[in-house]
Structure 1
Amino acid sequence: MDAATEEYRLLGAAMRAARAANRWTQRALGTRCGYSASAVSRIEAGTLRPTVESLDRIVSVLALDLSDLGLHTLARVLTAHRATKTPRGAMVANSATDEEDAMRRRKLLAGMAAVSATLALPRTAEAASQESSPYDTAADLERLLFAPAAPAAAPLPLEVLHRELAAARAHYTAARYHELGAGLPELIAAAEAHRATTTGRSREVAHAIAARGYVLATELAAKSHSELAWATADRSLQAARQSGDPVVTGEAVRVLAITMRRAGRPAAAVDLLRRTAGDLDAQADPAARAVAATLLMTAAYTAACNHDASSAHDLMTGAAEAVHRLPADVPSQRLFTVEATPAQVDLYQVGVHTVLGTPDLAVRYAVRIDPVALPTAERRARLGTDTARMWRALNDGPRTLSALQFVERVAPEEVRRPALRALAAELAYAPLPPAGAREFARRIGVQG
């Protein structure tokens, strides 16, 4: 690691420590510095280097002394920058303020090691709840979706948009919903700005990036039971169709169908999923056929929610056959949110049987799923969620709690979803709750 990279890494650690000392969230610090919470997260992680103007704002807001922190290269850069913008004689000493700042720096430096060590530990669900809500992006999305004169975003090059989209997807699959929500509106706005200023293939790619940004926004809205899911799902499908990419269109159809199901239109959702899966399965592209398989799984679960057992089982059979027909290397070509693998088929079988009122038949699928076969935290959390519901339907309180605790371990933000809090509350305040159920419920924010 070169010296500059090491200094930026140490700068990130100092920022985290100072932010924690001030009890600020990443969003709060970003507001003071003119950055998004997502950008603050990347600076703290050492993956984004701030401009010298931004560095100046950050150290001023946090009262950091780069020389005291041993960041001598950055200190020299900042000193040169300030010299170019400060008129001679404009600096007037204020001994009281200087002493106060010096004392603040000494306290910060003295506590840096302890704070940094604490920040390095995995966060519990309770600690995560003290940050902004994972779903507090709603206001930003509303402005993006509905404001008559929303501020125009600057178009970004496609390679930058691809990197930002990959980062957003990584947040989603790791169940870092707070960080995902913080950066999504900016990503979508930048993609829309790019497609408004270009033509041809570049415009189609920008449509695809915007569509997938809206897919993630819909997933986030659905997890928090937000009505914004309707608007984001619709925008996703519009952009996907304009991209001309059948894979992206299939992904957008999936989240729209989930929104339809939640709105009480499961039959229409199943019909949409069936038709789209049929179109995709007829294509030569293995990725398109893989998406078709995921649509059949979603259709099966949706049919089960509509108490249509026959259709649900037929669709699951079709999904399993579609996965079996895929080339062996397709699972390694990651789809955007859900993969087409045998483990995913088993996971959907658990949900389908539980919803249909046959949780005893779900057990054989649940016990054979190796969590390692589900390569993302979001999917492993779904395994814990569905098995918790299965065990609850079988009146097995201890195993229900164990499944919920598994969700907490693999995805602390996931366990604070409204649906899981309701399940935890039901378990905790049952006539004979399992040992530890009430402590768990309080830990994830259920009020007794």
Structure 2
Amino acid sequence: MSHQRRLGTAIRAARCARRMTQAQLGLVCGYSASAISRVEAGALRPTEQALLLIARALDLPLEAVGLGRPATLTKDVTLNQEDAMLRRQLLVAGMAAAGASALPAASASAARPDASARIVRALYEPETSVPTRLQQLKASLTSARAQFTTARYRHLGDLLPGLLGSAQATRDALSGRSREEAHACVARAWVLATELALKAHSDVAWPAADRALAAAQGSGDPVVHGEAARVLAITMRRSGRPAAAVDLLRRTAGSLSTARDDVSRAVAATLLMTAAYTAACGQRRSDALDLMEGASDAVDRLTSAGVRPNAPLFTVDATSAQVNLYWIGVHTAMGTPDEGVPYAARIAPGQLPTVERMARYGTDCARMWHYLGDHRKTFAALRFTEQVAPEEVRRPALRALTADLLYAPAAVAGVREFAARTGVS
């Protein structure tokens, strides 16, 4: 399939997932309904300005419509004035999108603000909170993390505003080492907020990731800093800055890999995996392969040394199953999904430590089989994802994939019912 056809397919799938007509999308970017039809058929290449407007209207990452441009970060990872302006623009777009629920209008929760809207309020209209005991704050954070790892994103969205307010009030009331520990809790709460915004493809992930990194720096904990750098890098990749994201992840992983403690080295390995996928999304094949080999070697060294961190890492663990999972995504992003098939065969989903990671396995396999043109296996992977994590299949990316199956030339039994269940049709 040509690049223009792939672009048209992505636009059509995202439009259908958001229940927009061709005429409605055309109004956004100044095109007629017939012109949008030709764009989706691959017969018309939109202007760059039209593509930008289409991406915003459909909540697509810029790289999905071919607008990603690499950039660099300064040495201290502080974004420059141009980046700050971009962040503000992205936040405005994210706030505008925040009113659109990811659930069908008929859902019982349709009137409830979505996660993006709640994160915006937590950023700029935080709940009035009183300090709590540090141990109680850590217990609340553990509970919120459990909502993420079990893919209960609505519950996580409900918990986050109160958790963020309580964490920040507690930090502000403490000093010394206790204040640093509270900084770490604040950072991790914002990491979860960023992860939730990324699941929804919302650009409010940018300011949430900024808050996570600032708090992580205040904690003085290199592991927490690594966790925050990871979600910031993902937001950078999503906004079309994969080269800068890879550089950030490389530097952070390098500083962690020389540490003596096992947890730091395990986090470094996860950052290399994320860097590899980011490089693959930027079509930097050599870098992607080198980074994945580095991640695989790091995990092998940890495993051979019998390293078992005392507790699971915060969002992504450093295991051989995780390495295989990332290989699937890397090869699909590079346009060589057939090379990902053997890695998918090596994974027993039960080896993955959380429901969220099992859902990621289903998602990555669905993308891989879709790229290979096997609609039945694509649908089987989506059904697996629904079984382990029902909320996951309502994410914009998976709804777009479902819409593509729904409108595929060859019908697959069960897709229409699945699309209705997940709010696509």
User: What's the TM-score once normalised by structure 1's chain length?
Assistant: 0.69
Q: Assess if the C-alpha contact under 8 Å between 1:253 and 1:273 holds in 2.
A: yes
Stretch deviating more after TM superposition (427-436 or 266-275): 427-436
Match for 2:122 among 116, 126, 144? 144
Paired residue for 2:216?
Answer: 240
> Aligned ranges for residues 257-406 of structure 1 at < 5 Å?
257-326=233-302, 327-330=305-308, 333-406=311-384
Q: Is the 8 A contact 1:381 1:414 kept in 2?
A: yes
Q: 1:229 and 1:134, CA in 2 relative to 1: closer, same or farther beyond 3 A?
A: farther
* Aligned residue type for 1:288: S
Larger RCO (CA within 8 A; separation ≥ 6): 2
Aligned length: 321
> Deviations 1:268-316 (Å, cap 9, x if unpaired)?
0000000000000000011000000000000000000000000000000
Distance, in Å, in 1 between the alignment partners of 2:210 and 2:195 is 13
When residues 231 and 364 of structure 1 are mapped into structure 2, their CA distance, relative to the original with a 3 A threshold, is same
- Residue 166 of structure 1 aligns with which residue? 142
Do the aligned partners of 2:127 and 2:165 also contact (CA within 8 Å) in 1?
no
CA apart distance, 1:434: 1.2
Residue number among 217, 222, 225 corresponding to 2:198 in the alignment: 222
Aligned to 1:155, the other structure's residue is in SS state coil
User: Given residue 313 of structure 2, which amino acid in structure 1 is its aligned partner?
Assistant: L
Label 1:207 to 1:377 Cα distance change in 2 as closer, same or farther (>3 A).
same
Number of the residue aligned with 2:67: none
Residues 9-48 of structure 1 aligned to structure 2 (within 5 Å): none
Distance 1:203 1:359 in 2: 47
Cα–Cα, structure 1 residues 151 and 362, in superposed 2: closer, same or farther, change >3 Å?
A: closer
**Identity over aligned pairs, percent:** 60
Aligned equivalents of 2:111, 2:359: Cα separation in 1: 18
Question: Quick one: which amino acid aligns to residue 434 of structure 1?
Answer: V
Distance 2:190 2:210 in 1: 9
Distance across 2 between alignment mates of 1:126 and 1:405: 19
Match of 1:413 among 391, 394, 397: 391
Runs of 4+ in structure 1 off by over 2 angstroms are 125-135, 137-141, 327-333
Report the CA distance between 1:145 and its aligned residue: 1.2
2: CA distance, partners of 1:317 / 1:398: 32
Alignment of 1:23-172 (within 5 A): 129-131=107-109, 136-147=114-125, 150-172=126-148
Alignment partner, residue 407 of structure 2: 429
Name the SS of the counterpart of 1:334 in structure 2. Answer: coil
Larger Rg: 1
Q: What is the CA deviation profile of residues 19-64 of structure 1, one whole-angstrom value per residue up to 9, with x for unaligned ones?
A: xxxxxxxxxxxxxxxxxxxxxxxxxxxxxxxxxxxxxxxxxxxxxx
Cα gap change, 1:428/1:331 in structure 2, threshold over 3 Å: closer, same or farther?
farther
Give the 3 Å change call, closer, same or farther, for CA 151–162 of structure 1 in structure 2.
closer
CA distance in 1, matches of 2:118, 2:131: 18
Q: CA RMSD in A?
A: 1.8
Partners in 1 of 2:309 and 2:377 — Cα distance? Answer: 31
CA contact under 8 A between 2:187 and 2:212: conserved in structure 1? yes
2:109 maps to amino acid: E
Please state whether the residue corresponding to 1:378 is helix, strand or coil.
helix
Deviation of 1:139 after TM superposition, in Å, equals: 3.0
Residue 433 of structure 1: how far off its partner (Å)? 2.0
What TM-score does the superposition give when structure 2 sets the normalisation length?
0.73
Residues 424, 135 of structure 1: alpha-carbon distance in 2 compared, 3 angstrom cutoff: farther
8 Å CA contact retained: 1:134, 1:177:
no
Q: Which runs of 5+ in 1 are unaligned?
A: 1-124
Q: Corresponding residue for 2:41?
A: none
Give the whole-Å Cα distance in 2 for the aligned partners of 1:273 and 1:302: 10
Q: How does 1:162-241 map to 2 (within 5 A)?
A: 162-241=138-217
Choose the corresponding residue for 2:419, options 441, 444, 447: 441
For 1:253, the equivalent position in structure 2 comes to 229
Summarize deviations over 1:189-208 as a string: whole Å, max 9, x none: 11110111110011001100
Whether the aligned pair in 1 keeps the contact of 2:324 and 2:347 (CA below 8 Å) is yes
Change (3 A) 1:345 1:129: farther
* In structure 2, distance between residues paired with 1:214 and 1:143: 13
- Quote the Cα distance in structure 1 between the aligned partners of 2:386 and 2:291: 31
Task: State the Cα distance separating 1:396 from its structure 2 match.
Answer: 0.5
Contact map agreement 1:132 1:178 (CA 8 A) in 2: no
CA-to-aligned-CA distance 1:418-448 (integer Å, 9 cap, x gap): 000000010111111211111111110002x
Quick check: 1:135–1:177 contact (8 Å CA) kept in 2?
A: no
Distance 2:312 2:422 in 1: 31
Cα distance per residue 1:105-148 (max 9 Å; x no partner): xxxxxxxxxxxxxxxxxxxx99995335897133332223124x
